[in-house]
A = this chain, B = another copy of it.
């Protein structure tokens, strides 16, 4: 007796598989993210993965790009909501890391899985470089607007420092939320932003 199935459009199926992959990576880590686990989470048979993607590696890469895009969109939304003041916009970008949906242990778990693939998968490495470059370019634009008069070299270094602080706080909070609070992280970022805009 063969189970009935529902015919879905390609986009719906692809997205379902991507969502299932992110869920598996977050919940069980990269080791347990197998074709069967992904397809079970997506509610489809295992053969369908190969039908829509080259293989499990390609699906993971697509998931990386999808997750990266969702984070990027959350950042953009925060900037737009902040209004026109350049400092408010910079602040909104930085602080968005410490609110949903970015501040999420599952998102970190997914992200760590991607990092762990960079060494062994050139495509993932390329995607990572691309995503990070875009993020840093955006931050440099916000810093330059909020602190006019800085040279490009100064802007670049400030952006590097702010990115590192934000990423470090985000990483450590998600790994262990008991050691400090999101509010404390926001406070630290606010101070660092002040220093970055005040100093040379």
The answer to the question of A134 belonging to the interface, with a C-beta cut-off of 8 Å to chain B, is no
In angstroms, how far is the closest chain B Cβ from the Cβ of A196? Answer: 9
CB neighbors of B among A105-157 (8 A): 109, 112-113, 115-120, 128-129, 132-133, 136, 156-157
Q: Are B176 and A129 in contact (CB under 8 A)?
A: yes
Question: What is the total number of copies of this protein in its complex?
Answer: 2
The segment out of A8-16, A26-34, A44-52, A84-92 that lies at the interface is: A26-34
Given the contacts A28-B119, A116-B29, A192 and B161 also touching, CB distance less than 8 Å: yes
The answer to the question of A83 belonging to the interface, with a C-beta cut-off of 8 Å to chain B, is no
Complex-state Cα separation, A172 to B32, whole angstroms? 26
Q: Are A165 and B163 in contact (CB under 8 A)?
A: no
Q: Which residues of B contact A28 (CB under 8 A)?
A: 119-120
Q: Are A168 and B175 in contact (CB under 8 A)?
A: no
Q: Which residues of B contact A165 (CB under 8 A)?
A: 161, 164-165, 168, 192
- Contact sample, A vs B, 6 pairs, CB 8 Å cutoff: A26-B119, A30-B31, A157-B184, A160-B184, A164-B169, A171-B171
